[in-house]
Chains A and B, each alone.
Chain A
Amino acid sequence: MTTRWFGAPVQRVEDDRLLRGRGRFTDDIGEGALECCFVRSPHAHARITSIDVNEARAMPGVAAVYTAADLPFGGLDLPLLIPHPNLTHGRTQRCLASEIVRYAGEAVAFIVAESRYLAEDAADLVQVEYEPLPVVITPEAAARAEHLVHDDVPGNVAAEMVQEVGDVDEALAEAPHRKRLRYRYERGAASPMEGRAVWASWSDADRKLTVYDSTQSPTSIRGGLAVLFGLPESNVEVIAPDVGGGFGPKIMLFYPDELLVPYAAMQLGRPVKWTEDRQEHFTAVNQERGQVHEVEVGFDDEGRVLALDDDFIHDGGAYTPYGIILPIITAAQVPGPYRIANYRVRFRDLYTNATPTSPYRGAGRPHACFVMERTLDAIASELGIDRIEVRRRNLIKQDQFPYDVGVAWQDGNAVVYDSGDYPALLERAVAMLGPKPNGDNIGMGIGVYVEGTGVGPYEGAHVQVLVSGKVVAATGIPSQGQAHATVWAQVVADELGVDVKDVEITSGDTRRFPWGVGTFASRGAVTAGNAMHVAARMVAGKAKQIAADHLEANPADLELAGGRVRVKGSPDRGIPLAAVAVLSNPMRYAFGGGTEAATQFASKARPGPPLHEGEQPGLEATGYYSPPGSTWASGCHAAYVRVDPKTFRLEILKYVVVHDCGRVINPLVLQGQIEGGVAQGIGGAFYERLAYDSDGQLRNASFMEFLIPYATEIPPIEIDHIETPSPLNPLGVKGAGEAGVIPVGAVIGSAIADALGVPVAEMPLSPLKLYELATSRP
């Protein structure tokens, strides 16, 4: 290997077509498809007393109107994706509600028409009568359980889980200092710029269903559709083409449209497309972040945490299709990078009459980090110790890895940190932050975090060298902008000794690679990246074997470089990789492209049959990587902010990030991931809040009122890295997708509290909240 692509700031190979407007997003596909819209419940909780779709059905241009009664699967609950023993009362919605609706936005009817315009006209004609029921909207109200979201779920409790490390009661009793704290995090929304979309076509002749879906998991969609429609998986093709951002909610499956669009295409014999609009995105797409934590901490005179007891409730929304991953992650990640010998965490996942929840970038971690960091700030304040010093005294030391936290992770394994250097992160960030600027109302915030990344079970990859010498490679997980086509080309190019531009990656297309899990949990680089590495290495081995026969050399003496397989030390003695690809497939017919070299009378005779036992034709291989456990990335963010004491306008003066995701594949791409994550974190800390009223109506379901920051709200961000390679995978990499967002709430909250001298125990903040905090100060 002479060229080292791994680690280089390679410019993205996917940019050109996206910049020319030649991207291929789901709504770009399939002119002539029928278009759809939903009739959705305007009520957060109601009994449906009647649905009349006759007028809509009769409208010219309408191809079909479906209610639950019209569907063979209308009476089935949608799958509960990740069951868990503690999820004692898991509930999922039906494709279309027919009896009770449990959140505003729940689908009731589905209209297929010649255009979306006509479909919306028809939706106006559907008459649904509702009998409103009492609404449960906050996690606190859910806990009070004066009303139930599901009649048969007592106390609105979907799940309860308690874990304890050490002896918290005893440690608290003996602690020199104890403090009780309460923290609240509100709901936010991922809001990718592309909403969700599904296009489907059914070929009766081939009995083949083709689905384009802006999903983070086409392989799982394929599996589910095959089961639902009783088709072999090979007759279902699911493609996630260009996906316009995901950030979590597009890993959720099945949204009703993911079944209804294919079903309608099969029924109507025409391609059918549904493209979500922004308004429905706000209520129909899963959300996250609502939690309330009651914490008791015991600590010594030096500010060392002796015991932490966290009892929290999680706003699960109306259903639990994604299980209880979120509160499990929160519970596991509250201790973060700190040594906490006695830790107890109890959570209850509660039903509310709001959109269901599932992971959104950060997935349970921003809250966990906020709880821990604000608690450390409280300790510092109580003892009059510098906040940075309190962190120094509690961080896990570099010689303590692997570090077993003693609680369970989302995959059921124990949380064991594989590697890291947390003190180094902290010191680097403090140095980068520098001295506090002069001026009034300026505050400092700091937060250290860990992130479990690269969760299993596995991903796979197929790598093939074509007779042209070009390389194609595919994996099951799609990209939503993470530059998969570039970074995996880097990994493959290194193993095969080719230029990165000669490697073409396909991701998220079950026609090219049918197995795998999905793009979520900062797992792509770890799982699919290593699978690419494994498969490419297999191809390299095969190439060496074939070339060795051809060159009459020992495979161990060969290397792949410059698009050739050559003898180490005598680079002139070699054979182009393209020729090896030809030789890999013993031919009867020559059809150009150099294939004549592999026909039976052309190649040098090798003893035995042309294909030896155990050999397969083609210079290709399929490889898999299944991580033994999660890899734990980490980082430290710190900031100076100024808050206007009269208008409470926030100005972020400086924001620094020190990040460790093991070995870095592409620093340019990594920088983009972090900058984007921090911006999303700033949005979640000061601008974005899903505001439900007591009737369960989302009051800000538009970009006019749900305030995603513009460029004007996001400051420049300074980034530095340290690299502690993961010992768990061949590439030594850890995930980086969510890191940017995790500590931002904690950091901004801490900085604002410092600037204004107000207690900050909730997220997000806003000028209004700061005004209220400042004016209610005693």
Chain B
Amino acid sequence: MKPPPFEYHAPTTLDEACSLLASLEEAKVLAGGQSLIPLLNFRLARPRHLLDINRVAGLDRIYERDGGIAVEALGRQAAVEDSDLVARVCPLLGEAVRLVAHRVIRNRGTVCGSLAHADPASELPAVLLALGGHVIAQSARGKRTIAADQLFRGVFETALETDEMVVEAWFPASPQPFAILEESRRHGDFALAGVVRADTRLALFGVGSTPVLADRSDATRGLQPSGDLEATPDFRLHLVRVLTEKAFAA
């Protein structure tokens, strides 16, 4: 379980990072590395180039923008967890991030990395979707905003082009009431199924190839979750119904 060979790049500016990303083939962006490095160690990912953005200065801000919370590419999950600003403006995000793995992982893991990785069972993509947030993608060609409902395309797949990286995620202020509920086997594990409520909006995770928006009155309509060792499709649908009911209970 050792990473395969790759060429390592550690740009110090965003421009440098973008131009490398534009010029390199089969490159992977390394931010927190808490999902990518296990994949390297298992040799399930074999990028030719690894683009480590951790040396890019001033890319770790967590700040208030347009009434919501912006988290830059190197904003660690632990920093979001500890942020008073997040607790005030978007407590849903603060609560959700505590469900991501364990503190030691969150010390390194980034919010933007979690969104770009797009694990359908992870919490933050569903939070972004429930809140109707967006990410800002940057490349050598420029910046663009990708809305949450456009971002997630499939299991580990996003609308990002190969030369683009997420430089910022923006979460609107969480409305009242809100909730994030999930069922996982152990504390900190990926969810068998989870729901995010932002007032009347409902997003589900762990029940499809991407997080999905759902209607609380018929949360499982159209869902075709896959089965795995810990949950059959049927059990997942059952959990969605149970969790949705809980999330909307007075």
Contacts and interface: CB of A to CB of B under 8 A. Distances in A.
A associates with B: yes
Given A710-B186, A710-B188, A766 B4 contact: no
A646 interface: yes
A689 B38 CA distance: 22
Contacts of A699: 229
Interface string B178-198: 000001011111101000000
Interface in A610-647: 646-647
B187 A713 contact: yes
Contacts of A772: 232, 235
Given A699-B229, A700-B229, A710-B188, A767 B1 contact: no
Interface string B29-59: 0000000001000110000000000000000
Nearest to A713: B186
Contact of A705 (B187, B229, B238): B229
B128 to A, nearest CB: 23
Chain B interface bracket (under 10, 10 to 19, 20 to 34, 35 or more): 20 to 34
B231 interface: yes
A279 B187 contact: no
B246 to A, nearest CB: 9
A710 B102 CA distance: 11
A278 B235 CA distance: 30
A689 B235 CA distance: 19
Given A121-B4, A707-B189, A710-B187, A766 B43 contact: no
A120 interface: yes
Contact of A771 (B5, B38, B238): B238
A401 interface: no
Interface string A695-719: 0000110101101011011000000
Contacts of A512: none
A550 interface: no
B1 A278 contact: yes
B185 A766 contact: yes
Contacts of B229: 689, 691, 699-700, 705
A47 interface: no
A263 interface: no
Given A647-B239, A700-B229, A687 B185 contact: yes
Contact of A647 (B2, B187, B242): B242
B110 to A, nearest CB: 19
Interface string B112-152: 00000000000000000000000000000000000000000
Contacts of B183: 647, 649, 767
B36 to A, nearest CB: 14
Contact of B42 (A279, A691, A707, A768): A279
Contacts of A700: 229
Interface in A562-592: none
A104 to B, nearest CB: 16
A99 interface: no
A279 B38 CA distance: 12
A705 B5 CA distance: 27
A117 interface: yes
B185 A707 contact: yes
Contacts of A121: 4-5
Nearest to B232: A768
Contacts of B231: 767-768
Contacts of A116: 2
A277 interface: yes
A117 B230 contact: no
Contacts of A124: 4, 43
A121 B2 CA distance: 9
Nearest to A118: B2
Given A279-B42, A691-B229, A707 B186 contact: yes
A277 B1 CA distance: 6
Interface string B155-190: 000000000000000000000000000010111111
Interface string A241-281: 00000000000000000000000000000000000011100
B5 A687 contact: no
B186 A687 contact: yes
Interface string A522-536: 000000000000000
B191 to A, nearest CB: 11
Interface in A755-776: 766-768, 771-772
B2 A120 contact: yes
Contacts of A767: 183, 185, 192, 230-231, 235
Nearest to A700: B229
Nearest to A706: B229
A470 B5 CA distance: 53
A771 B235 contact: yes
B188 A766 contact: no
Contact of B43 (A120, A687, A702, A713): A120
Contacts of A646: 242
B249 to A, nearest CB: 12
Nearest to A279: B1
A331 to B, nearest CB: 31
B245 to A, nearest CB: 9
Contacts of B42: 279, 702
A648 B229 CA distance: 16
B209 to A, nearest CB: 19
Contacts of A649: 183
A335 B212 CA distance: 54
Interface in A110-125: 116-117, 120-121, 124
Contacts of B3: 117
A355 B235 CA distance: 30
A704 B230 CA distance: 12
B186 A712 contact: yes
Given A120-B4, A704-B190, A767-B235, 5 more contacts: A278-B1, A767-B183, A767-B192, A768-B232, A771-B238
**Which 4 pairs show the lowest CB-CB distances between chains A and B?**
A712-B187, A277-B1, A117-B2, A646-B242
27 contacts: A116-B2, A117-B2, A117-B3, A120-B2, A121-B4, A277-B1, A278-B1, A646-B242, A647-B183, A647-B239, A647-B242, A649-B183, A687-B186, A702-B42, A707-B186, A709-B186, A710-B186, A710-B187, A710-B188, A712-B187, A713-B187, A766-B185, A766-B230, A767-B192, A767-B231, A767-B235, A771-B235
